[in-house]
Amino acid sequence: MINNITKEGLRSMMLSGEDFILIDTLSRESFEEIHISGAINCPVDEMGKWAEENEDKKDKKIIVYCGSYTCKASATAADILDRAGFARVMRRAALKNGVRRVTRSPACVSRPHRQNCISIHYPRPLNNF
């Protein structure tokens, strides 16, 4: 069964040190531009292969996310993992889009522990957006 997770729920899991796998389901280019710290990149069209290569992680909590409410990558990835037997899959659409808005605030970038902020990895300066 696939459950949705809120931005606040993910932030809480990250701050508590809970053990989970966070997967950005968008393109490598998108991942290199911006992603959540600690996330791995597995574009949705490679999720089946990832599932085969990571069968030993079927009991681990896995969170997949994508870029916007109209993006279907995280839903498709979650379905692939669910069908492959991964029992603890959660998804969050629009996380990356929300991250862009929230983290434009210097308060979030410099203080990710603040409410409504998630630690983000920006390989380039924020003013490039």
| Superfamily covering domain 2-122 | Rhodanese-like domain (3.40.250.10)
Domains in the chain: boundaries: 2-122
| pLDDT given for residue 61 in this prediction | 96
Whether the model pTM is above 0.85: no
Q: Hey, what's the torsion of the CAs at 12, 115, 75, 41, to 10 degrees? A: -80
| pLDDT given for residue 48 in this prediction | 97
| pLDDT over 60 (residue 111) | no
